[in-house]
Chains A and B, each alone.
Chain A
Amino acid sequence: MEENERDKGGEVEIWSWGAGTDGQLGTTRLEDEHLPQLLDLPRFSSAGPISLLACGGAHVLALTTDGKVVTWGRGTSGQLGHGDMVSSLQPKHVKLLESFVMTHVSAGWSHSGFVSDTGCLFTCGDGSFGQLGHGDCKSHCSPVKVSYFDSKHVDQIACGMRHSLVLLKGTGLSGDQVYGFGSGKRGQLGVSMDNTRSISVPQATVGLEGVEIISIDANGDHSAALSANGHLYTWGRGFGSTSDVHCPRCLPSSLCFTQVALGWNHMLVLTGGGEVFMLGGNRHGVLGDPQKGSQVKHLSEESREENLEKVQGLDGLNVVQIAAGAEHSALVTENRVIKTWGWGEHGQLGLGNTYDQISPQAVRLGHRLPGQHTMIKVYCGSGFTFAIKAVIPSQT
């Protein structure tokens, strides 16, 4: 039995915790969980081993290794792509995408984006702000192909609260391009120096010309792009007390960045050296405690410039992955330990309580799979967290 499972690549555990009242935890219960819950795998693995999760406001998209998509959680805006406006406690296939091989997915507050291996982009869910990119403000309950990109090859999609970003990898002279659509009120589309209310037809960002982009991210009203040479560009709502930025701006830093994770009011970055820095985190971990908040806030009140600050308490640990929810953060260390910090009111830190944490705390996942040859990935939705633990196939 076990051998068979191993042959099929079935040695995967999926864990979830945090806000769960829309079924987003996949536990089939509509309640918060303060400790990591091991999910009943057969319900998730019927589509094949899961390779990637995308967690949104209260819904989850799972991409399998063979390019299929299953979704669950809140579906009241059509964001699950099941063809209705109904939430789902059970993971269900996105039937409309069955004939495609999907390579990338992203979940926003209440909309979803899917990219196929042929470079096609599909979106569904809430379209009130034009964030689906179909040239109108209609919502869709099944993925609809974004015709603007018909003759282009889409590489990635990133969905924020009310906007979307799309990355096109350049061929020849055209170079990489990032497009934005949806709400642009805080500058999050990066398409113009002026205030843009919202646009429903994708438009190219200004200021990334000639830059090789390897990844894009969007959350809240923030946008970010990471370049191949380790530079980070951000635009959208200002962090902390800084003003909004309407065009991509390179973060002045001598560090080389390899990953970025955006929250609603903070940003995490991972350096090539495995160190984690945070921008705009002066309320991170003190939201639920006004007294503590006023103390922390006082410290940085005077500085109008938000600076990257090294995340405290990691003591030289080598970090390999970062993730950010709306107001909480998670990371995975080289030794496969998950650590969380930030807002904890819904148990999204997975520490067995609802306290906030200013510095990263270790999450205990239980030890069903042997620790030695596993890899762990962590994903954050607005108020919840998922972790995937998989056995790395041994060499023998």
Chain B
Amino acid sequence: MSYDDVEIEDMEWNEELQAFTYPCPCGDLFQITKDELRMGEEIARCPSCSLFITVIYNMEDFAGGSDPNTKKGLEPSKQQPVAVA
């Protein structure tokens, strides 16, 4: 069960980890890389625990683009209603 649904614009780009991150309740960070986003991955995992979040984003914002400095991914994504099970 996903811990939370988080929009990509609410995640922070972490230069050191080369990943978008969001606070995990264990104290560590949920992480997802640009490559993962490009491939359509929507689960960001925490390296320290079993929890994960669902990342809400537009795949087109990441598809094809290889410039790591692109701001595109940080723009507000279209709100996709996500059914909470």
Name A residues whose Cβ lies closer than 8 Å to a Cβ of B.
19, 21-22, 24, 57-58, 74, 109, 128, 161, 185, 241, 264, 287-288, 290, 293-294, 325-327, 343, 345-346, 381-384
Determine the distance from Cα of A346 to Cα of B50 in the docked complex, in whole angstroms. Answer: 10
* Pairs across A and B, CB under 8 Å, 16 listed: A19-B48, A21-B48, A57-B27, A58-B27, A109-B23, A161-B23, A185-B10, A288-B50, A293-B1, A326-B26, A345-B50, A345-B51, A382-B25, A382-B26, A383-B27, A384-B27
Query: Which residues from chain B contact A346 at a C-beta distance below 8 Å?
Result: 26-27, 48-49
**Contact A383-B25, Cβ < 8 Å, known A287-B3, A290-B1:** yes
Query: Which residues from chain A contact B82 at a C-beta distance below 8 Å?
Result: none
Q: Which residue of A lies closest to B23 (CB)?
A: A109
* Chain A contact residues: helix, strand, loop or mixed: loop
Query: Which residues from chain A contact B50 at a C-beta distance below 8 Å?
Result: 288, 345
**Contact A24-B27, Cβ < 8 Å, known A19-B48, A287-B51, A288-B50:** yes
* Chain B contact residues: helix, strand, loop or mixed: loop
Determine the distance from Cα of A57 to Cα of B23 in the docked complex, in whole angstroms. Answer: 8
Judge whether B60 is part of the interface by a CB distance below 8 angstroms. no
Query: Which residues from chain A contact B49 at a C-beta distance below 8 Å?
Result: 345-346
Judge whether B41 is part of the interface by a CB distance below 8 angstroms. no
What string of 1s and 0s marks CB contacts (under 8 Å) between B9-32 and chain A?
010100000000001011110000
With A19-B27, A58-B27 known, 10 other A-B pairs at CB within 8 A are A19-B28, A57-B23, A241-B84, A264-B25, A287-B51, A288-B50, A294-B1, A345-B26, A346-B48, A382-B25
Query: Which residues from chain B contact A382 at a C-beta distance below 8 Å?
Result: 23, 25-27
Query: Which size class do B's interface residues fall under?
Result: 10 to 19
A21 touches B23 (CB 8 A): no
What string of 1s and 0s marks CB contacts (under 8 Å) between B29-55 and chain A?
000000000000000000011110000
A383 touches B10 (CB 8 A): no
Name B residues whose Cβ lies closer than 8 Å to a Cβ of A.
1, 3, 10, 12, 23, 25-28, 48-51, 84-85
**Contact A128-B28, Cβ < 8 Å, known A19-B48, A21-B48, A288-B50:** no
Determine the distance from Cα of A258 to Cα of B1 in the docked complex, in whole angstroms. Answer: 35
Query: Which of these, B12, B28, B51, B84, contacts A21 with CB under 8 Å?
Result: B28
Query: Which residues from chain A contact B51 at a C-beta distance below 8 Å?
Result: 287, 345
